Structure 1
Amino acid sequence: MAESVRVVCRCRPLNSRELALKSKICVQMDQQCAQVILEGDGPSKQFTFDGVYYMDATAEQIYNDIVYPLVENVIEGYNGTVFAYGQTGSGKTYSMQGDDSVPAQKGIIPRTFEHIFEATATTDNTKFLVHVSYLEIYNEEVRDLLGKDRTQKLEIKEHSEKGVYVAGLSMHVCHDFKACKELMKQGFENRHVGATLMNKDSSRSHSIFTVYVEAMLDTGSIRMGKLHLVDLAGSERQAKTGATGDRFKEATKINLSLSALGNVISALVDGKSRHIPYRDSKLTRLLQDSLGGNTKTIMVACISPSDNNYDETLSTLRCGSHHVCYYVCPQAVESITEQPGVEPRSFAYRARYANRAKNIKNKPKINEDPKDALLREYQQEIQRLKAMIQPDKTTTRDSQTLEMEHERLKAEFESALNELRMQYQSEQNSKAKLQEEYALLKEQYDRAAEAIENEKNIDTDEVHKRLQLLEKQFVGGEQANNEALKKERQRKMKDAEKKMQRLAGTISFSKWYISF
């Protein structure tokens, strides 16, 4: 089923720097109609979103209103993306990470962890495998924030079945909230940060924390949801940040990648572009599926209320309105921007905006039986290990059979390798493609050969230990009889749905009103 991409706007309070400058507040919000009013020297400008959150709003409100349903969808097997964008110092990292010392201000990422493990615990007849990765894009280089060598530059690859992925990115299985939080903390401490005049702890890189939720139903079928939690580095103006040297180089790369993101969105909005420039930056390449693919996407526009940041806030709001207006299957669409000549709070402007936005759709689908599911590999290994320690040994193979199997496997590998060489020599494949396919082929061969070798040298104690280790990775059903917890999940879903319906009703009324 097609559905809209959703964009919300969050305005933080004035910070100490803005208070010292005696800044005036130039942002107002109408929460009932989800509108932002930006007031400057000229006519006020107005923007409509899927939700607006003023200075007193908490991270808990934002999560429950708009992120909670998305995470439920990820657990069902959908892909999801939540990302925060805005100028430097606007509260993006705070929105994503939050403040653990204030319960209501715990960020989107830690709330997601709690939510996922609460959901898996209350689901019966299903086993889950949860694993995570954490990367940053620093100066247009991809680095693994949880890897052994954090200086290693990773390559972005594309596979016919896996889609766009980062080769060599480490994956970490988590079986509880604590493990996820520890990995987030570890990776966060490895991010590139630096002081500027706008923000003493400014993120100098884009980061993507990805949670994979694989579920095996009692029927044996597998579903795999994937959630990207993205904290973008902020757009910067050198005159304000005082960036020089490395800071200036970082700012240049940040602004170029954000410009590429804007170009992708503009191409999708335009509907006439045959080419969408995903490859213009590492950021847009990695978010390709989130911007026009099989993903439910939420964007959090973070803004400052200070008149000192008027231009940057206007830029973010314009970007947000463009974000709302794009199609997965693009058609001709008018670009939505603010209309200075229209009375800011008029029904006319509200209706015109909503009328355009309601037709903007994505086409996410449940990912059923993915071939690259880690859970499937674990299940197959568990079955093989159990067969190896059967008392009667009827399901195990003797050494001669195993040797024949090894020779057959080796012959198949060499045959496939020769075919790859022939394709390269006849220029059917590029060198890069050949190397990628060889690496995948070698990985499959090594894994199968290792399994055969292990079967030759069965150590019952080691097999039992490996079995226990694998089975401990699965979660699910620990709180299956906790009816109170189940009802709380249902209540949160219903509350979020009611809020969306109320907002849709307000916009519909606005459209009806202006027709008279």
Structure 2
Amino acid sequence: MERFYLENISKYRSLVDGLDPFPKPRISNGKPGPNMTVCARIRPLSENEGFPSSIFPRANQKNVVEIHDLYHHPKGVPILKSSDYQVDRIFNPSSTTSQIYEELIADLVPYAWNGGVGTLFAYGQTGSGKTFTISQVESLTASTLMNGTLDGERSIYMTIIDLAGNAAFDLLNSRAPISLREDASGATQMVGAQEHQVFNVDDMRDVVERATAFRRTAPTLKNPASSRSHAICRIRIRNAVDSSDGLLYLVDLAGSEAARDVAVHGADRMRETKQINISLSVLKNCIRAKAEVDTARTLFGEKLGQKVPHIPFRQSALTRVLKHVFDPSSTRACRTIVIACVNPSLADVGPTKNTLRFAELLRVLVPATDEVDAERKSAMHWTSVELKEWITENAGNPPILSNTIAPRESGAQLFKLSSKELEYRCQKCPGVKLEQARAFRSILWQMYISP
């Protein structure tokens, strides 16, 4: 397949250049819940990859990314197969880890400092930048915890373990095996794992570097040092005043591999890959089910009765360790962030689609209320002719064309369109940019709500 891509790079680029720069927007029937954020990070293309990018973040939607694949059509003419994926936030190749940390992750630290449970997962194909992202986040977290800007006195303790299948190892004790057991209260304990108190930034960074040296890696088809296990860094923040603990988990998930890897590495690596994929599947089910519980509670409070979905956290070692993150009976405040790391290369378009599909499936949206109260005003009763007259009078420069915005709609029909659809139609007019489209929509919407 890679040979097919290489032979048709110029064709691929010409097909992509010919696409509509303002595709029809993805519409969300709701908004993200308050306790779950799912984003995608696109790593930069390296100079030696030799393939064009297959990933194109939409200019008019910050949370939608397009994937364009080249299909070997039976008739012999290569064609594009395009798909799009929606998450809560897209970080493009120029985004730094510091920017991602400040925009997305930094709030987890004071959240855990004040007794909450914050969890960050980095997921994706091997070689997509997961370990790079997590290692930099660990360093930035150390700075936030130790720079003296957080209120109150706390003691900081770190534990870092490695999960390979159902086996667990202590990375701060020369990879010594440990046991995962439930105590009398039902909480999962990492029996045998050492916990190290840290006192400053250098202490924290030294602990992370020591653990990294014992991380399980192996060569794969895509990465000579692929992470073949899940690494969990637990930071426990002890408040001596009220004897409470805040928890911060930074989880570098094992890299996934394609089935073709068996041709290079054999059955042992494929059994290992199967175990990894099973644990990731269980993780997806747990994250989504917990998000469904949080959404239901947002809508119905505690009147859930038997509607609480089953959360299968006992089906893998990874989710057993993180049971308190998913357990619907837990009373602890929890927030979760997932960063789906993707490789933009056309040669990796298949794994990239799988990663973004995984990320998209994690999203559970809270139904949105109407943007305004539903009382209908005079603009709702405009005929198609009256609506076009108003659009022409308020067209702006460059002009927004009434036949493009409302070719057949009456006032009532136009106000039923979503804001994204209306902005999309505005940008179909020559020269109209997103800012003008939004301004026009705002003026039009005032006609709907004004007495």
1:266-294 deviations in Å (ceiling 9; x for gaps): 55577777432211111122223334554
- Asked if the contact 2:41–2:341 (Cα under 8 Å) also holds between the matched residues in 1, the reply is yes
Counterpart of 2:189?
Answer: 165
**17 and 290 in structure 1: CA distance in 2 versus 1, 3 angstrom threshold:** farther
CA distance in 1, matches of 2:419, 2:226: 36
CA distance in 1, matches of 2:230, 2:34: 27
CA distance in 2, matches of 1:175, 1:244: 46
List aligned pairs for 1:130-209, cutoff 5 A: 130-147=156-173, 150-160=175-185, 163-209=187-233
CA distance in 2, matches of 1:17, 1:224: 47
1:118-152 deviations in Å (ceiling 9; x for gaps): 1xx2456x32110000001013211111126x242
**250 and 130 in structure 1: CA distance in 2 versus 1, 3 angstrom threshold:** same
CA offset at residue 14 of structure 1? Answer: 2.1
CA distance in 1, matches of 2:273, 2:419: 36
Q: Name the amino acid aligned to 1:18.
A: E
Corresponding residue SS for 2:162: strand
1:128 matches 2:162: no
Percent identity, please.
Answer: 29
CA offset at residue 39 of structure 1? Answer: 1.8
CA distance in 2, matches of 1:168, 1:350: 54
CA distance in 2, matches of 1:178, 1:232: 25
CA distance in 2, matches of 1:16, 1:159: 55
Counterpart of 2:132?
Answer: 94
Counterpart of 2:401?
Answer: none
Counterpart of 2:276?
Answer: 254
CA offset at residue 183 of structure 1? Answer: 0.8
Which one of 265, 279, 286 corresponds to residue 264 of structure 1?
A: 286
List aligned pairs for 1:102-113, cutoff 5 A: 107-113=136-142
CA distance in 2, matches of 1:296, 1:159: 25
Which one of 334, 341, 345 corresponds to residue 302 of structure 1?
A: 341
CA offset at residue 34 of structure 1? Answer: 2.4
CA distance in 2, matches of 1:115, 1:227: 13
Corresponding residue SS for 2:265: coil
1:9 matches 2:34: no
CA distance in 2, matches of 1:349, 1:10: 26
**111 and 279 in structure 1: CA distance in 2 versus 1, 3 angstrom threshold:** same
**151 and 175 in structure 1: CA distance in 2 versus 1, 3 angstrom threshold:** closer
Counterpart of 1:435?
Answer: none
**350 and 252 in structure 1: CA distance in 2 versus 1, 3 angstrom threshold:** farther
Q: Name the amino acid aligned to 2:250.
A: L
Under a length normalisation based on structure 2, what TM-score does the superposition of the two structures give? 0.64
1:231-287 deviations in Å (ceiling 9; x for gaps): 000121130473325433322221221122233345557777743221111112222
Q: Which moved more, 1:8-17 or 1:305-314?
A: 8-17
List aligned pairs for 1:390-469, cutoff 5 A: none
CA distance in 2, matches of 1:201, 1:89: 9
CA distance in 2, matches of 1:263, 1:221: 35
CA offset at residue 72 of structure 1? Answer: 1.9
1:317 matches 2:348: no
1:101-126 deviations in Å (ceiling 9; x for gaps): xxxxxx111110111001xx2456x3
Corresponding residue SS for 2:344: coil
- Asked if the contact 1:7–1:323 (Cα under 8 Å) also holds between the matched residues in 2, the reply is yes
CA distance in 1, matches of 2:197, 2:188: 21
1:429-449 deviations in Å (ceiling 9; x for gaps): xxxxxxxxxxxxxxxxxxxxx
CA offset at residue 297 of structure 1? Answer: 0.6
Which one of 18, 22, 26 corresponds to residue 49 of structure 2?
A: 18
Corresponding residue SS for 1:244: helix
Counterpart of 2:109?
Answer: 71
- Asked if the contact 1:269–1:322 (Cα under 8 Å) also holds between the matched residues in 2, the reply is no
- Which structure shows the bigger proportion of residues in helix conformation? 1
CA distance in 2, matches of 1:213, 1:265: 24
1:324-376 deviations in Å (ceiling 9; x for gaps): 2279xxxxxxxxxxxxxxxxxxx96968xxxxxxxxxxxxxxxxxxxxxxxxx
Q: Name the amino acid aligned to 2:68.
A: E
CA distance in 1, matches of 2:57, 2:220: 29
Q: Name the amino acid aligned to 1:40.
A: D
Q: Name the amino acid aligned to 1:128.
A: R
Counterpart of 2:64?
Answer: 35
**208 and 48 in structure 1: CA distance in 2 versus 1, 3 angstrom threshold:** same
Unaligned runs of 5+ in 1: 98-106, 328-346, 352-504
Counterpart of 1:45?
Answer: 83
Q: Name the amino acid aligned to 2:252.
A: D
CA distance in 1, matches of 2:419, 2:311: 30
Under a length normalisation based on structure 1, what TM-score does the superposition of the two structures give? 0.56
CA distance in 1, matches of 2:350, 2:133: 22
Q: Name the amino acid aligned to 1:244.
A: G
**184 and 52 in structure 1: CA distance in 2 versus 1, 3 angstrom threshold:** same
Q: Which moved more, 1:53-62 or 1:238-247?
A: 238-247
- Asked if the contact 1:96–1:231 (Cα under 8 Å) also holds between the matched residues in 2, the reply is yes
**117 and 90 in structure 1: CA distance in 2 versus 1, 3 angstrom threshold:** same
- Asked if the contact 1:265–1:322 (Cα under 8 Å) also holds between the matched residues in 2, the reply is no
Corresponding residue SS for 1:200: coil
Q: Name the amino acid aligned to 1:152.
A: P
- Asked if the contact 2:230–2:252 (Cα under 8 Å) also holds between the matched residues in 1, the reply is yes
**349 and 270 in structure 1: CA distance in 2 versus 1, 3 angstrom threshold:** farther
1:117 matches 2:140: no
- Asked if the contact 1:133–1:169 (Cα under 8 Å) also holds between the matched residues in 2, the reply is yes
- Asked if the contact 2:288–2:364 (Cα under 8 Å) also holds between the matched residues in 1, the reply is no
Corresponding residue SS for 1:18: coil
1:446-468 deviations in Å (ceiling 9; x for gaps): xxxxxxxxxxxxxxxxxxxxxxx
Paired residues in the alignment total 321
